[in-house]
Copies of this chain bind each other. A is one copy, B any other.
Amino acid sequence: MTDTPTAAMIVIGDEVLSGRTQDANTQVLATMLGEAGIDLCEGRAIRDERGEIIGAVNALRARYTYVFTSGGIGPTHDDITAEAVADAMQTPISIRDDARAILAARYGDGETLTDARLRMARIPDGAILIDNPVSGAPGFRLGNVFVLAGVPQVFAAMLDHVRRMIATGPVMHDVSIPCPYPEGVLGGPLTDVAAAHPSVSIGSYPRLKPTGGWGVTIVARSRDMQALERAEGAIHAMIDGLGGSSTDGE
């Protein structure tokens, strides 16, 4: 497991923390990383403040193989992510010719390439540009930090490029097993199953059914397919051996 790449996500934006917007980018990233065999280990949502961005970037880039940021790279005054990431990594940042050329191709080189739009050509020295096929203005990779747009369609499009820039790991396999018994009944036996299969991560997730009452899904995950199949068999045997039921939930 030591060579499994790890990752963290930083969602930058007051609009998520105010409740105005629901972050959807973390789930999209998590799904892509899962397919690439990379563990998303932590997510953070932080304010549009320079010190917050610097603190989060430095805490997480030291700890994980990859760090992804979402938001704050547009042309307005509250878009401060690129500069803050450059500051965090003590790298100079300026309007780069390659990024300017991308914007000029989109807007023309006349007055529609406003000063505000030129802010989107500010890229740290040495950073690798990340394609934005939706709206032009690129993201970038600096060291192990990937700076992406916040608009979900642009974020997802940039991930298509990112996918080709990162090292993949052994894929995590998973099985979901619906369970007719509540957690309070299966909790004890499931603890025994989990202890007997240490290379498999086993979780149970209760949910309120639309029709009322509780349903539980048991999810088992492992990079070892054979170990996963053994655990799956043990979970089915456990369910078959259980009796009794009552309402329950977290």
Partner-B contacts on A (CB < 8 A): 11, 13-24, 26-31, 33-34, 39-48, 52, 71, 73-79, 106-107, 112, 114-117, 119-120, 134-137, 149-151, 153-154, 172, 174, 183-188, 190-191, 194-195, 201-208, 214, 219, 221, 244, 246-250
Question: In the bound complex, do residue B246 and residue A107 qualify as a contact, i.e. CB atoms below 8 Å apart?
Answer: yes
If A153-B208, A208-B153 touch, whether A76 touches B22 (CB-CB below 8 Å) is no
Contact present for A42 and B48 (CB under 8 Å): no
> 10 A-B residue contacts at CB 8 Å?
A16-B43, A18-B221, A19-B34, A43-B43, A74-B249, A78-B204, A107-B184, A116-B184, A116-B186, A117-B187
Listed residue (A34, A76, A154, A244) with the most chain B CB atoms within 10 angstroms of its CB = A76
- In the complex, what residues of B have CB within 8 A of residue A29's CB? 19
Cβ-defined contact, A40 with B18, below 8 A: yes
A116 touches B187 (CB 8 A): yes
Asked if A214 and B250 make an inter-chain contact with CB atoms under 8 angstroms apart, the answer reads no
Docked CA distance A76–B250 (Å): 9
**B44 with A76: CB separation less than 8 A:** no
On chain B, the residues within 8 Å of A119 by CB distance are 187
